[in-house]
Structure 1
Amino acid sequence: MNLTDVTLREGDQMPGRSFTADEKIESAHALDDLGIPYIQPGFPVTGEKDQRVVSELAGTTDADIVALARALESDIDVALDTDADVVEIFVSASDKHLEHLLGMSRAEMLSMLGEAVDYIRAHDRPAHVTLADAFRTNHDQLCEIIATVPDAEFISLADSVGVRTPATVRQYLERLDGYINFDRLGVHFHDDMGCATANALTAYYAGVGKVDASIAGLGERAGNSALEEVIVACSIEHGDNLGIDSSKLVPICRSVLDTLGEEYGQSKAVLGAAIAEHESGIHTAAMLSDPATLESFDPELFGGQRRLVFGKPTGESSARHLLQRAGIDPDAETVTAYLDALAAKGPLDLEEALLLAEREHGE
């Protein structure tokens, strides 16, 4: 499965955000270093900033740079002028969106879509298609749209309002089996009901060829499928790192968020420092014995770092482990004295706690 990173385009559309061209370009190069196959940094017709971003990135990355466009020749011309590797067009698929967003009939949309893909292909550029609100579009209508664009490299189904759950995503995809080669099928999820990453993983299990995702789920409203969560889940459960350099995942995702001025919580899955921090006496004792006891994955696999904290909550078992690791006999008197020292000097990390043991109780 391929990943398209949409952090720079989706994140820039959030209310109150306006990433600079330089921020987007720096972030895209970091994502390229991670090994993301497709990066969608902007929507060129929206203005000079995104035109510059796509133009300056095109031809400088291993990733294919994707320019977003509506299914209009005027939009496509601007995207083509940036020399983007791929032009991705989007149209509304559902009756609700056709009526209230585009104000056109289904026949008009199909004609516009087919002509747009042909236009891109005539300019020797790959065409990707995203079908907005596809997961609220009935099966026969989806099949009709898919049949209209046989030359599109990817056709992505978008859950534009985040209304689907893994069960309904699976049902939608199962019904499309036989109507499209799943290697050409993509998905794009929003997180309004908290299901975007789970939905992306459901699509992965179904065998889709491409998933859109963004770092920390950045995107409009509740955001999108979280890039780092999708990568870690596939890597841990299936041994599939999706072609990504796993060892760089956490530091690069954090650096991109820093570049963009975006914050993330310390308890944020995968990225937050707190997910690999342990202080409870029972927990630290187990972690000193076998870290897998209380961790779903070794954070160092993805460039993160485990942090054990010792101080007042530290229990006797942890104290004994620490003293033994420092080469000190953990008799009852020494353990009690060491616990008093930890309570007075803590909180300490593992290295500091070992130094304290050597200083207080070493020969």
Structure 2
Amino acid sequence: MYLADVTLREGDQMPGREYAAEAKVRAGRALDRLGVDAIQAGFPVTGEKDVQVIGELAAECEADVVALARAVSGDVDAALDAEADVIEVFGPVSDLQLEYALGTSRGSMFEQFDAAIDRVRDGGATPHLTLVDAFRTEREHLLEAFDRYADVPMITLADTVGARTPASLRGDLDALAADVDLSRAGVHLHDDLGCATANALAAHEAGVGKADVSVASLGERAGNPALEEVVVAGVVEHGESFGVTASELVPACREVLDALGESIPPRKAILGSEVTEHESGIHTAAMLREPRAFEPFDPGDFGGERRLVFGAGTGRSGARQLLGRAGAPTDDETVAVYLDRLAAEGPLDTEEAVELARREFA
């Protein structure tokens, strides 16, 4: 499975956001250096900004630069003018969305897809197709789409309203796999039920060829599968980094967020400042001996860092180990005095705590 990053398009559609072209280009460059296979950089028909961003990134990125287009000629022409590598045509296929979002029939929608895909090819770009609300669409209609567009290299199934859990999504994909080569299927997922990252991993396990992801889950409503979570979970669970440079993951994601002016919640998985910080006396004492005791992964493997914090909560075992590292006595009396000093001067990180022990007791 390869990753298509949608941060630049999905994030820009969040309420109150309007990323500048320069910010999107800078973020796109960071994603390209990280090694994602595709960057969905914008929706060109919405304005000149996205045309500029897509053109600049397409000219310099190794990743495929993707433009989004509805299945209408104006959208496709705008995407072609932007010189995108891939034009991702999208439209609904579920009864709900066809009736209430577009007021059209499935047959008419397929005819629009036909015309849009032909127009993409005639313009020299590669067409992809996204089936909106695919996971609430009858399987027979999905099979019809895969058969009708057998020459489209990637058909993405969108869980547009975030209605699936890993079990139901896997059931849908396994049923499709009886008739469809899932390596040419992608998934576009939303986190409305808090399942987006888990759903992306379930899709990988089912054999899906592509998953859309976004840095820190930036995207409409609850967002999309978090790029950083999918990669770290992929490495931990499957030994699979999905083609990105795992050791650069955290710095690259932080660079993207910095470029876009987005903050990182301190408790955000993988990226948050407090996620790899440990202060509990039981935890820090064990982690001084072996960090894996209370970590699912080494943050350094992904360009992050752990921080052990010592202060009022530090226990005797941890204090004794810190004194030992400083070459200081580790008798009970020294430990007791050192714990008082840690409580007074903490919280300190490991280096600071060892230096205190060395300065005062060694």
Do they superpose with TM above 0.5? yes
Shift of 1:264: 2.0
Q: Distance in 1 between matches of 2:217 and 2:330?
A: 47
Larger mean CA deviation between 67-76 and 34-43 belongs to 67-76
Q: Contact 1:117–1:151 at 8 Å: present in 2 too?
A: no
Q: Which amino acid aligns with 2:265?
A: G
Shift of 1:344: 1.2
Q: Distance in 2 between matches of 1:142 and 1:6?
A: 23
Larger mean CA deviation between 174-183 and 232-241 belongs to 174-183
Alignment of 1:41-60 (within 5 A): 41-60=41-60
Match of 1:52, SS state, is: helix
What residue in structure 2 maps to residue 213 of structure 1? 213
Larger mean CA deviation between 251-260 and 218-227 belongs to 251-260
What residue in structure 2 maps to residue 295 of structure 1? 295
Shift of 1:16: 0.8
Alignment of 1:85-96 (within 5 A): 85-96=85-96
What residue in structure 2 maps to residue 202 of structure 1? 202
Alignment of 1:19-34 (within 5 A): 19-34=19-34
Q: Deviations over 1:107-135 (max 9, x none)?
A: 10111112221222233321111111000
Q: Contact 2:276–2:299 at 8 Å: present in 1 too?
A: yes
Q: Which amino acid aligns with 1:233?
A: A
What residue in structure 2 maps to residue 246 of structure 1? 246
Q: Distance in 2 between matches of 1:313 and 1:58?
A: 52
Q: Deviations over 1:293-321 (max 9, x none)?
A: 00000000001110011111111000011
Shift of 1:59: 2.0
What residue in structure 1 maps to residue 153 of structure 2? 153
What residue in structure 1 maps to residue 223 of structure 2? 223
Q: Deviations over 1:62-108 (max 9, x none)?
A: 11100110111221111111111111110101011111111111110
Q: Distance in 1 between matches of 2:38 and 2:308?
A: 37
What residue in structure 1 maps to residue 266 of structure 2? 266
Match of 1:262, SS state, is: coil
Match of 1:308, SS state, is: strand
Q: Which amino acid aligns with 1:114?
A: D
Q: Distance in 2 between matches of 1:214 and 1:306?
A: 24
Q: Which amino acid aligns with 2:359?
A: R
Q: Distance in 2 between matches of 1:319 and 1:361?
A: 12
Match of 1:324, SS state, is: helix
What residue in structure 1 maps to residue 170 of structure 2? 170
What residue in structure 1 maps to residue 101 of structure 2? 101
Q: Which amino acid aligns with 1:330?
A: T
Shift of 1:15: 0.7
Q: When the two structures are superposed, what TM-score results if normalisation uses the length of structure 2?
A: 0.98
Q: Which amino acid aligns with 2:334?
A: T
Q: When the two structures are superposed, what TM-score results if normalisation uses the length of structure 1?
A: 0.98
Q: Distance in 2 between matches of 1:166 and 1:227?
A: 17
Q: Distance in 2 between matches of 1:91 and 1:146?
A: 14
Shift of 1:180: 2.1
- Aligned-pair identity (%): 57
What residue in structure 2 maps to residue 312 of structure 1? 312
Runs of 4+ residues deviating >6 angstroms = none
Shift of 1:289: 0.9
Q: Which amino acid aligns with 2:348?
A: L
Q: Distance in 1 between matches of 2:255 and 2:55?
A: 23
Q: Does 1:134 align with 2:128?
A: no
Q: Distance in 2 between matches of 1:102 and 1:145?
A: 18
Q: Contact 1:162–1:196 at 8 Å: present in 2 too?
A: yes
Match of 1:59, SS state, is: helix
Q: Which amino acid aligns with 2:303?
A: G
Q: Contact 1:43–1:50 at 8 Å: present in 2 too?
A: yes
Shift of 1:229: 0.4
Match of 2:60, SS state, is: coil
Match of 1:224, SS state, is: coil
What residue in structure 1 maps to residue 120 of structure 2? 120
Shift of 1:329: 2.6
Larger mean CA deviation between 229-238 and 117-126 belongs to 117-126
- RMSD after superposition: 0.9
What residue in structure 2 maps to residue 353 of structure 1? 353
Count of matched residue positions in the alignment of Structure 1 and Structure 2 = 362
Q: Distance in 2 between matches of 1:179 and 1:85?
A: 29
Q: Distance in 2 between matches of 1:260 and 1:122?
A: 34
Q: Deviations over 1:10-39 (max 9, x none)?
A: 000011111111110000001001001100
What residue in structure 1 maps to residue 192 of structure 2? 192
Q: Contact 1:117–1:149 at 8 Å: present in 2 too?
A: no
Q: Which amino acid aligns with 2:329?
A: D
Q: Contact 2:329–2:361 at 8 Å: present in 1 too?
A: no
Gaps of 5+ in 1: none
Match of 1:269, SS state, is: coil
Match of 1:309, SS state, is: strand
Q: Distance in 2 between matches of 1:106 and 1:130?
A: 14
What residue in structure 2 maps to residue 235 of structure 1? 235
Q: Distance in 1 between matches of 2:55 and 2:200?
A: 30
